[in-house]
Structure 1
């Protein structure tokens, strides 16, 4: 009896093992028949935006180099680097005692020239007119005396010597009148003395303007409102013309200057919108607009310079900050898309995907459109709702049986 029970138990385990072997074989055969599990994603309709990513720096369209027009010693610098200044605000003061003295000297010369001109108008001309009238009266009297003397000499009452004296007196009177008349002429507005005095006044006034200009050069001011982004001078320094003392970034348009790969040049156009972020504040994105495309390509880097206008720059944006820019070069709404990882040979003549149809992997040639973040537009070859292999599987070939396993939707 015990031997019988032992044999029965052994047979039960044998039967169980055989049953398990049959089940395992059936399970394996079923899996072999239906193929391996493969990750798939749905082809669906979605919005897609194609962007060109580039990096660059913040830049103002214009920078003003501040320098001195004269040689001098820096007396004071009433502003600091990074400070916002208004147009005409003083930035640097040079020592100006010599320039101030030159202005005072020029002012004295102007006053002297004006006094000389006034003297001619108020004194010299009236005196000359009076002298001319006196000379005319003297000449009239002398002419009468000469006439009487000549008449007396003709009658024999006076000798030749008296007539000669009368002639000399007449000549002197005529000469005095001519001198007085010349003095009147030179003292009038169009006379030589007046012209000389007027010219001297003009020269003195010109010298005063030069002296005042040189004095003005000792006060270096901001030509326009802006922000001082560099300072290369300290009080006590001796500065000379041509040396950059400060750099001013004028208030106005802020631009981003980036470099894009020349392969993307055909897709970037003026007016396209972009999102930018500074490396210092990566979470704070702001908008920009493509405003300039450099007509030449950098042969060393194979890149093209692009400038973008920032209409409303954030207050934390600084000159020369490093920025990253995503330029929207194309946009589609509710278009058919597939994961980028599912499309093979995307840059070739015939891109293709592996699509699951009736439980089998099918190689399908597709026509692609624009590419966005992780997805690509499908123009032909697929329909919405179809499943495509979302990754490259070396073990799956065209016609193989597969069991699709859905992945998360396209983002």
Structure 2
């Protein structure tokens, strides 16, 4: 076999599977009965599209009741502002007028008492009247403070309104939860729910594979780790469509090594995924880890002691086989790059020819398409 000069690409070949960056488990946040499921497994969906509808009559009634409670609380607050506050203010004014009149009458009675026109009993009765009217004024003032903004009755009315609004929000949220929609664009890769099912929180009812970036997840033997680098180009093919190729690019190398398998997980982006590509498809990937233009190449099956520090070949030297040490570079695809020891056009013998040794005599024989060297008898 001849040593040749040509462009050479070293590749790392491995298998893996198709994966989107993440999957979305679709479930429910409330317990309920499924009314309908308007989508099918494998269907592409848009963000916001309805996936599952639950029976919601009870929740709709609860929402109506909660909204009625909100209206009632608002009416109570409005009544305080528009009715009770003016009435309480008027009561304070009336009590103040009554107190002023009672105090004036008391002063007149005191003058008459000094002049001897009224008795002590009449004067005492008038003082009691003044005390009573003062008490009524204080009560009216307290009532006015209570019903106006910042007062206790007003605060209780505001609290009741806030509670009613919170109840309405909860009822509204439960009603919203009755409709389960797609959070993102994607394809449904699993469906485990049918109309009539009773569903509960915590169980995945569907699995959504989001649209967008498609990646190939591949396990690479750890001995090839030193050859890998982000940005390297690759060609991949799905096992279901082996004759079709797709371009990919290495974007991630896991910093850890799988101890059980002795491999490293890497991920490759597929910038233009073909339409036939499906989630979890098995793929074969050929990663181009190095390229040499016009490299000197020898067939790898001609190398001897290739895994040791001093590889060598049996080179055809005239009519004899001569041991020739070589220094190797890139390897792959059945060829190895020769950095030193051989030149293009040199002939070497296959390592399978175990009966040929350094110095063995050779003779030429004719073959169907090329001349070859074989051991002489």
Q: Name the TM-score, length of structure 1 as normaliser.
A: 0.86
Residue 161 (structure 1) aligned with residue 129 (structure 2): no
Answering whether residue 143 of structure 2 is matched by residue 196 of structure 1, we say no
- 1:201-227 CA distances to partner (integer Å, 9 max, x unpaired)? 111111111111111111111122211
Structure 1 position 397, deviation (Å): 2.6
Shift of 1:408: 6.5
> Residue by residue, what CA displacement relative to the aligned partner does 1:76-105 show, whole Å, maximum 9, x if unpaired?
111111112122221111111121111111
CA deviations on 1:307-342 (whole Å, 9 max, x unpaired) are 111111111110000000011111111011111222
Identify which of 374, 377, 385 aligns with 2:337.
Answer: 377
SS in structure 1 at match of 2:194: coil
- Choose from 304, 312, 322 the match for 1:352: 312
Greater helix content: 1
Cross-structure match for 1:27: none
In structure 2, the partner of 1:174 is 134
TM-score (norm 2): 0.94
Q: Which residue of 2 aligns with 1:147?
A: 107
Equivalence for 2:374: none
The higher radius of gyration belongs to 1
Deviation string, structure 1 residues 252-307 (Cα, Å, up to 9, x no partner): 22111111112111212222111100001111111111122222222222222111
The aligned residue for residue 115 of structure 1 is 75
Q: Does the alignment pair 1:288 with 2:243?
A: no
1:319 maps to 2:259: no
The yes-or-no answer on 1:224 pairing with 2:184 is yes
Does the aligned pair in 1 maintain the 2:92–2:140 contact within 8 Å? yes
- Please, which runs of 5 or more residues in structure 2 have no aligned partner? 372-377
Q: Out of 305-314 and 317-326, give the one that drifted further.
A: 305-314
Specify which of 262, 277, 282 is matched with residue 302 of structure 1.
Answer: 262
Which residue of structure 2 lines up, in the alignment, with residue 46 of structure 1? 6
Task: Write the distance in 2 (CA, Å) between the matches of 1:358 and 1:320.
Answer: 57
RMSD: 1.6
Question: What secondary structure is seen at the aligned counterpart in 1 of 2:243?
Answer: strand
Return the match for 1:60 from 17, 20, 31.
Answer: 20
1:272 is the counterpart of 2:232: yes
| Residue 168 of structure 2 is aligned to residue 208 of structure 1 | yes
Do the aligned partners of 2:304 and 2:351 also contact (CA within 8 Å) in 1? no
Tell me the CA shift for residue 396 of structure 1: 2.7
Once residues 408 and 181 of structure 1 are traced to their aligned partners in structure 2, the CA distance between those partners, rounded to angstroms, is 121
Give the Cα–Cα distance (whole angstroms) in 2 for the partners of residues 318 and 99 of structure 1: 39
Secondary structure, counterpart of 2:96 in structure 1: helix
Matching of residues 235-246 of structure 1 within 5 Å: 235-246=195-206
Number of positions where the alignment pairs a residue of Structure 1 with one of Structure 2: 369
The corresponding residue for 1:364 is: 324
Mark the runs of 5 or more structure 1 residues left unpaired by the alignment. Answer: 1-40
CA distance in 1, matches of 2:301, 2:363: 19
Does the 8 Å contact 2:51/2:181 carry over to 1?
yes
